[in-house]
Amino acid sequence: MIETLRTILEGALERLHNHITTYLPAILAALTLMLSAWLIAWIARWLLYRIIKGKAIDRFLRQSGLAFMHGSGRLRATKMVAESVYWGILFTGLLMGINVFNTDLTTQIIQSFVFLLPKLAMAGLILLGGVWLSQYLGRSMLVWAVNEDFPSPRRLAVVVRIMIMFVAVVVAAYQLEFARPVFLTAFILVAGGAVLTVSMAVASGLRTELRRYFDKKGEDAAQSEERSLWSHL
């Protein structure tokens, strides 16, 4: 009885020993790689913040409007480059760490990621474009609505921004082949809902509101005829 127990225990300890001797070096190697990657990423970011001035890139970001993706319009080239490099190195370190285990699962993860990378990049670009467009058109709508005396300019601008971002997210998800039917259905529902809402609104109260608005514009125009000798130039 004691002999059997001893055999079982010895077997368990041996298996544990085997597991430890098999996986511990790999885990240690993976941790070392990830730690090194984090260290390199941190140093690279620290250096880049000090080296890159990026005035020309900043100007490009402002002129192209990409700087406005950050709400304050203060997106800077240095930050973009440094943070991209930081996360890039960190992520590469993570993949290298996983690769150390050399199992079917890890190989599959890495392969999937490598194949996904171009789609991820494209989806990222689509989202970036969506953010840019939503900022630009949202602000255009805001300023136009204020100058044209149109009701609720800020709400209109928010609606424009949300709609464009929603379309961008749907296209990005489609590109990533991520829950395509869900996003497509959601898009159809939202678009259809929006059309239906506008139709019902026009049919009921909005028609009166619009008539009132255009009547007011007409009155203003008629009033301005009286004082039309005035020129701004």
Partner 1 sequence: MEGARLPVEADRAVDAIRHADIVIGIPSYNNARTIAHVVQAVYAGLAKYFPQLTAVVINSDCGSTDDTRNAVLSAQVEDNHLMLVSTPLMNAHRLSFPYHGVPGKGSAFRLVFRMATNLHAKACAVVDSDLRSITPEWIDMLLRPILFADYDFVAPYYQRHTYDGTITNSIVYPLTRSLYGVRVRQPIGGEFGMSARLIARYVERDDWETDIARYGIDIWMTTVAIAEGFRVCQSFLGAKLHDTRDPSSDLSAMLQQVVGSVFMLMEEYQPVWQSKIGSEPAELFGFQFDVGLDPIRVNVDRMVQSFRRGCHELGEVWALALQPQTYADVRKLGRCVCAGDATFQMGDDLWTRVVLDYCCAYRKHPLFRGHLLQSLTPLYLGRVASFVRENESFESDEVEQKIERLCISFENLKPYLKAQWNDEARFHAVEREVGDTAQ
Instruction: Centre a 10 Å sphere on the Cβ of residue 120 and count the other Cβ atoms it contains.
Output: 13
CB closer to partner 1, 35 vs 146: 146
Give kind and range of the element (H or E) at residue 115: helix 104-147
Sign (positive/negative) of CA torsion 102, 106, 111, 116?
negative
Nearest alpha carbon to residue 161 among 138, 132, 187? 138
Among 49, 153, 187, 206, binds partner 1 (CB under 8 A): 153
Question: Is residue 218 close enough to count as binding partner 1 by CB under 8 A?
Answer: no
Closest CA to 33 of 21, 25, 45, 22: 25
Contact 200, 144 (CB under 8 A): no
Closest CB to partner 1 among residues 79, 139: 139
Tokens, residue 182: 């869900």
Nearer of residues 61 and 82 to partner 1, judged by Cβ: 61
Q: Which is nearer to partner 1, 22 or 227 (CB)?
A: 227
Contact pick of 15, 55, 59, 180 for partner 1 (by CB under 8 A): 59
- Residue 114 in the binding site for partner 1 (CB under 8 A): no
119 binds partner 1 (CB under 8 A): no
- Using CB under 8 A, list all residues that contact partner 1: 59, 62-63, 65, 68, 72-73, 136, 139-140, 142-147, 149, 153-154, 220-221, 223-233
